[in-house]
């Protein structure tokens, strides 16, 4: 039970909030009680781009970051861009189960979504990157993903005059402006704009009781009372802290491959074995297949699995459907993005390299 | 010489136009003579979407076609879309030399651009598809590219209700609306919008003598007088007819792999051995590397190769630079494209298949 001690604490705290909220509102309707409880546990996605630590989000950085996000020439093969695996047209993820990278290699985990990622406590399933600018450097250099090097990226960017001009504008006080750090900062600035406000659930949190239908409200109530919101809470309905996958019951090896011990690889703490960041559930209906292993294709099935292995509960068919209805209310408004025209290559641009 | 007889006829006809134009305008300036000749050989890209044969281009088809063009779930792996190889951010092509498809396989030829492809006489380097709706069916089913089947595509599209609704709107009188033919027609409608008007050369053809600078005008004059425009003419400065690659001199095997006999595979006529559609040169400066083999990375080098093997001419350094300056005037205004949000998959959507 040791590894799940923190989780139990969360569960108790969370259920207390629900209980206190309900007790404190004995004279109002059951509907109001649910809304009051929800507003203590969750938070609406803002409509404005959030502030990013150590990286003022300017228009110049956003536009540059968008180009870099969509530019496949950042990878060694020059066919894989950030958008290849974090496809903004399909919920900020790829088709799964795990991403395909350089040389048709399959990565070990499902791509996490970039949408609303700026609100997560840290990046990657195991939180090994403290923020998006740290995250952005990872896949570029991973041999199983883009298989490039920082030097190659810098050579590529410096070979295209339009990029050099844009880096100068985005980082006016830095010399040289084209650095791997600034590459990552520009991508972070763009990704900070990838937020999806105005989901029905946001409108509900902002005080409109009619933004959710009765089934979605029933699902929300279950989501809080059964304990789902003990881990999946806050602005991203998850993504705020780390928890063991398999608190009550160890998931099947297909869902929890034994070789991947999750956050243990980051902290080396025995209590972090098979611990992962709680999945952020914003837009989850757009993002099958589910879990870090990407082996469950139905949201309803995913809900059933989580209730069983994390909460020791067998949900009824109706309960599962109600929770799925609630999860569907987490689909927000995706930003409109103009596809960027990228600078043409020059004689100095490194040629694609397809080998390993 | 037999296989190049048609080419010689073209060259003579073309040079006659240049000569007649120059004779007919003996009282006007040399500048006017060049413009007059150019207007007989080339044609400006229109600013409006052209009419497409057997496929009225409606807003509904364009929007649907855009979604299909960007949707990787059309491929068996679900990671390759039309845009993967015909990247609208990089001139409508990939980084080359030849495209990478299913299983990291490399295709035999460089991806042709989709920009202005609607103006080509036929599609592919060998013209084996009569138009864009015929072309669109090819890569989807090619095992070396997207490795899907028509049935798989239809199953995928029918599994997503948003697609079914959009096909109904785009093809209101057809039952069922979701067919492989209509899939191809929608993509063709979108691709018909991928035209790039208002290049400096277009403005020049429309009567503005200052749209080209002196070097570009010198390059244009050379382009016509040396015989380049014998094959590279019309609205796309190429793409209008088929010619042998290596009229005067056989190119190196790296440029003309012996196993790929070009249009011979389509017509089985001996005279079509190593015959290819003249490359359309619109936006050519955005599209290195060059030739169907994609082995030449510099536009200047490509110009030198063509003069030598097609015309038997050794251009001076200045002549090559002038022609490159002219080719740079062929870069037009690329359309603004909003990246499409794609329908979420459902339980019925086929899972990705990465194997061969």
What does the pLDDT look like over B201-210, one tens digit per residue?
A: 999 999 999 9
- Selecting from B73, B103, B297 the residue whose C-beta is nearest the C-beta of A95 gives B73
Which residues from B are below 8 Å from A96, CB to CB? Answer: 352
* pLDDT score recorded for residue A1: 39
Q: Do A88 and B339 touch (CB under 8 A)?
A: yes
Q: Write down the pLDDT at residue B27.
A: 45
Contact assessment for residue A261 and residue A273, using Cβ atoms and an 8 Å cutoff: yes
Instruction: Give the residue, B4 or A97, on which the prediction is more confident.
Output: A97
Residue B356's pLDDT band, with cuts at 50, 70 and 90, is: confident
A contact set with B (CB within 8 A): 67, 70-73, 77-79, 84, 87-91, 94-97, 100, 103-104, 106, 285-288, 297-298, 334, 336-342, 344-345, 347, 351-352, 354
B162 pLDDT tier (thresholds 50, 70, 90): very high
In angstroms, the separation between the Cα of residue B288 and the nearest Cα of chain A is 7
How large is the average pLDDT for residues B297-319? 97
Rounded mean pLDDT of B107-134? 94
Residues whose CB falls within 8 Å of the CB of residue A283, separated by 6 or more in sequence, listed in order: A91, A92, A113, A115, A116, A196, A199, A330, A331, A332, A334
Has residue B7 got a pLDDT over 70? no
Position B16 pLDDT exceeds 60: yes
Taking alpha carbons only, the member of A272, A58, A298 closest to residue A167 is A58
Q: Which residues of B does the annotation mark as catalytic?
A: 145
Chain B residues touching residue A286 (CB < 8 angstroms): 344
pLDDT at B58: 98
How much is the average pLDDT of B85-107? 96
Residues of B with CB under 8 A from a CB of A: 70-73, 77-79, 84, 87-91, 94-97, 100, 103-104, 106, 285-288, 297-298, 334, 336-342, 344-345, 347, 351-352, 354
Q: Coil, strand or helix: which one is B296?
A: strand
User: Across the A/B interface, how many CB contacts are shorter than 8 Å?
Assistant: 98
Across all residues in chain B, what is the average pLDDT? 93
Name the minimum distance, in Å, from the CA of A198 to any CA of chain B.
16
**pLDDT over 90 at B31, yes or no:** no
- The answer to whether B315 and B280 are in contact (CB under 8 A) is no
* CA separation for the pair A133, A121 (Å, rounded): 13
Contact A90 B344 (CB under 8 A): yes
The pTM of this model reads 0.94
CA of A80, closest CA in chain B: separation in Å? 9
Q: How large is the average pLDDT for residues B156-177?
A: 98
- The answer to whether residues B153 and B349 touch, using CB atoms and an 8 Å cutoff, is no
Name the percent of chain B lying above pLDDT 70.
92
Ranges of residues in chain A whose predicted pLDDT is under 70: 1-28
Q: Which of B157, B146, B74 is nearest to B111 (CA)?
A: B146
- Chain B contact set for A77 (CB, 8 A): 95, 100
Residue B275's SS3 state is: strand
Which residues of chain B make contact with A78, given a CB cutoff of 8 A?
Answer: 94-95
Q: Pseudo-torsion of CA A183, A188, A194, A195, nearest 10°?
A: -170
């Amino acid at each position: 039970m040791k590894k799940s001690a923190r989780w139990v604490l969360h569960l108790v705290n969370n259920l207390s909030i629900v209980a206190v909220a309900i007790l404190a509102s004995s004279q109002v309707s059951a509907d109001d009680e649910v809304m009051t409880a929800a507003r203590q546990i969750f938070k609406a996605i803002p409509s404005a781009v959030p502030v990013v630590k150590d990286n003022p989000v300017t228009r110049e950085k956003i536009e540059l970051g968008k180009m870099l996000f969509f530019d496949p020439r950042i990878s060694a093969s020059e066919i894989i861009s950030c958008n290849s695996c974090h496809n903004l047209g399909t919920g900020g993820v790829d088709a799964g189960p795990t991403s395909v990278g350089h040389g048709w290699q399959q990565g070990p985990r499902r791509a996490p979504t970039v949408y609303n990622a700026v609100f997560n406590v840290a990046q990657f399933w195991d939180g090994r990157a403290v923020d998006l600018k740290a995250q952005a450097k990872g896949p570029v250099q991973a041999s199983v993903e883009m298989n490039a090097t920082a030097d190659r990226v810098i050579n590529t960017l410096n070979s295209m005059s339009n990029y050099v001009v844009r880096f100068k504008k985005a980082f006016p006080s830095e010399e040289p402006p084209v650095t791997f750090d600034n590459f990552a900062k520009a991508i972070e600035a763009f990704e900070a704009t990838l937020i999806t406000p105005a989901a029905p659930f946001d409108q509900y949190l902002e005080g409109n009781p009619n933004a959710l239908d009765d089934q979605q409200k029933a699902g929300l109530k279950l989501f809080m009372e059964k304990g789902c919101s003990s881990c999946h809470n806050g602005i991203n309905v998850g993504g705020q802290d780390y928890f063991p996958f398999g608190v009550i019951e160890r998931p099947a090896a297909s869902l929890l491959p034994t070789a991947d011990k999750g956050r243990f690889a980051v902290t080396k703490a025995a209590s972090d074995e098979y611990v992962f960041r709680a999945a952020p559930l914003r837009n989850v209906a757009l993002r099958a297949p589910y879990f870090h292993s990407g082996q469950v294709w139905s949201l309803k099935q995913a809900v059933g699995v989580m209730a069983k292995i994390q909460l020791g509960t067998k949900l009824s068919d109706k309960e599962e459907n109600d929770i799925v209805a609630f999860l569907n209310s987490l689909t927000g408004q995706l930003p409109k993005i103009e596809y960027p025209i990228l600078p043409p290559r020059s004689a100095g641009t490194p040629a694609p390299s397809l080998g390993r």
